[in-house]
Amino acid sequence: MYPRLTYRMLLNDGDFLKGEKFTGVVHPREILKPVAKLRRISGKDMRVVKALTTSGKNALYVIVPAASLQRISKLIKKNKSLDLVYTPAGLYAGLPLIKLVGDERGGDEAGESLPDFGAGIASYYPGEKGRRWTIVIGDRLRLLEFEITDVRPGISRGLRHESVPGRPDLDVSNPFMIEYAKNSVSVSIGAPGDDGQAAMKGDLLIKGPVAVGTRWTSTSGGVLRQREIVATNVIVSNGSSEYNNAIVIKEVSDVTAGGNLRYIAVTYYFYAAGFGFVGCKIDSAETPEGIRSYEDIDEWFMRRAD
């Protein structure tokens, strides 16, 4: 679901691609000893593994969680490959250095077991195979229909179909992916890249602990957005449906409307345990004091329709 990089791009452009996610396959060959120089590069509780590309002609280094070393060691002994999602981390000893983000078996960066969809943070965006839901934008100006088609530990994949009622010529479907870690839920939506393949851009939607005051930053769409959980255990009424045990996430961003005109835009996102995204409400003002509470906004910008 993520794009692939050539070895030459990793070697020459790794510094410019830090933070972006890519998919690939490597053959682990050696777990390096945790000397001080490597610790400074990898960070706490991480180790460095030397690996080869699938052709066997090029070498690179992979930063992996220390907790995953036992499995990496088994792959080395059995001469098995590792399918991975990674982000470039620069160069080490003249070779590309990448950091493991996820793999075919799932797992987060800490190598810990992941929650199921009925408990913990994953319950606020469940992704069982076959699950479907529909989001209405405005007064049925646009429909977003989601369906989960493939589930693996830590990852749910599916399709998002976007349509405009009465305009079938505008229909479009793109892949999407939900990534679950112990304390986060991220969603990536695909769009055709310059090479014709789907390029995935991710967004950290929910971060734990699920408690009032938890904060994080998103740069989705090139705009800096500050997010914070502002309410938990909320009962949300959305049209004819009612959702219990919901959380409210407040997103704040500064917007430039041309010239010197600037204002504050706020979006309140609602996620209900066992259901997922319920909808969102928006507001804007010239100053923070002018922003309304989510309780004072009646109209929905997006709402769940199933």
Q: Looking at residues 268-295, what average pLDDT do you find?
A: 93
Nearest Cα residue to 43 out of 105, 114, 109, 93: 109
Higher pLDDT, residue 272 or 259: 272
Domains annotated for the chain, with CATH where assigned, are 7-103 (2.40.50), 120-304 (2.40.360)
Of 34-43, 68-77, 83-92, 180-189, the least confident: 34-43
Residue 278, pLDDT > 80, answer: yes
Name 247's bridge partners. 271
* Residue 95, number of CB atoms within 10 A of its CB: 15
pLDDT value of position 14 = 78
Q: Looking at residues 250-259, what average pLDDT do you find?
A: 78
Higher pLDDT, residue 157 or 201: 157
Tell me, rounded to whole angstroms, the distance of Cα 298 from its chain centroid.
29
Higher pLDDT, residue 39 or 53: 53
Nearest Cα residue to 232 out of 209, 208, 210, 204: 210
pLDDT value of position 198 = 47
Residue found under tokens 């349509």:
163
pLDDT value of position 227 = 93
Q: Please give the backbone phi and psi of residue 228, each rounded to the nearest 5 degrees, phi first.
A: -155, 140
pLDDT value of position 109 = 39
Residue 104, pLDDT > 50, answer: no
pLDDT value of position 102 = 67
In the chain, pLDDT over 70 holds for what percent of residues? 88
Residue 273, pLDDT > 90, answer: yes
Q: Average pLDDT of the chain?
A: 84
**pLDDT confidence band for 207 (50 / 70 / 90):** very high
Residue 1, pLDDT > 60, answer: no
Is residue 67 within 8 Å of residue 112, measured between CB atoms? yes
Residue 26, pLDDT > 80, answer: yes
**pLDDT confidence band for 253 (50 / 70 / 90):** confident
The 3-state secondary structure of the chain reads: CCCCCCHHHHHHHHHHHCCCCEEEEEEEEEECCCCHHHHHHHCCCEEEEEEEECCCCCEEEEEEEHHHHHHHHHHHHCCCCEEEEEEEEEEECCEEEEEEEEECCCCCCCCCCCCCCCCHHHHHCCCCCCCEEEEEECCCCEEEEEEEEEEECCEEEEEEEEEECCEEEEEEEEEEEEEEECCEEEEEEEEECCCCCEEEEEEEEEECCCCCCCEEEECHHHCCEEEEEEEEEEEEEECCEEEEEEEEEEEEEEEECCCCCEEEEEEEEEEECCCEEEEEEEEEECCHHHCCCHHHCCCCCEEECC
pLDDT single digits (tens) 118-138: 778 999 999 998 999 999 998
pLDDT single digits (tens) 148-166: 998 877 888 899 999 988 8
